[in-house]
């Protein structure tokens, strides 16, 4: 199994450069691939900031990509929970923090707006203010 970098993932989603897309597609077709969580985090930022996709389009694109055969990611349930929180309006980095903290009793933060949004959305891990 090979792990891919953000540029591979983004090229496969955006397909704005045919030569780069073909190289990325070759990697995808070569067998099982792993998409590290950090690559998903960076890809969300690139798709939103560089390519102007809205949160729904980003979440849909990443969800579709992760649903392809031979595509794996660590903690798939937490990743999908984070993508759903992104759709609901949470920042993706915060959504990943919360969804991957699920084994913890609570997620403690000084970020009052995050705590309020998380409580409103009933995130996987209860949020508390320090």
Instruction: Provide CATH code, domain 1-74.
Output: 3.40.50.1010
Instruction: Transcribe the chain into DSSP letters.
Output: -EE--HHHHHHHHH--SHHHHHHHHHHHHTS-EE--HHHHHHHHHIIIIIT---HHHHHHHHHHHHTSTTEE-SSHHHHHHHHHHHHTT--HHHHHHHHHTTTSS-EEES-HHHHHHHHHHT-SS-EEE-
* pLDDT tens track for 51-89: 999 999 999 999 999 999 999 999 999 999 999 999 999
Total-model pTM: 0.90
Annotated domain spans of the chain = 1-74, 91-130
């Amino acid at each position: 199994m090979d792990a891919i970098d953000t540029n591979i993932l983004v090229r496969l989603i955006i397909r704005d450069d045919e030569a780069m897309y073909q190289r990325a597609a070759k990697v995808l077709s070569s067998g099982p691939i792993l998409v590290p969580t950090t690559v998903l985090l960076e890809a969300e930022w690139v798709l939103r900031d560089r390519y102007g996709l809205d949160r729904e389009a980003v979440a849909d694109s990443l969800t579709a990509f992760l649903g392809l055969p031979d595509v794996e990611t660590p903690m798939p349930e937490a990743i999908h929970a984070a993508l759903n929180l992104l759709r609901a309006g949470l920042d993706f980095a915060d959504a990943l923090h919360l969804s991957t903290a699920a084994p913890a009793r609570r997620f403690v933060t000084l970020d009052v707006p995050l705590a309020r949004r998380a409580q409103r959305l009933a995130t996987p891990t209860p949020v508390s203010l320090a």
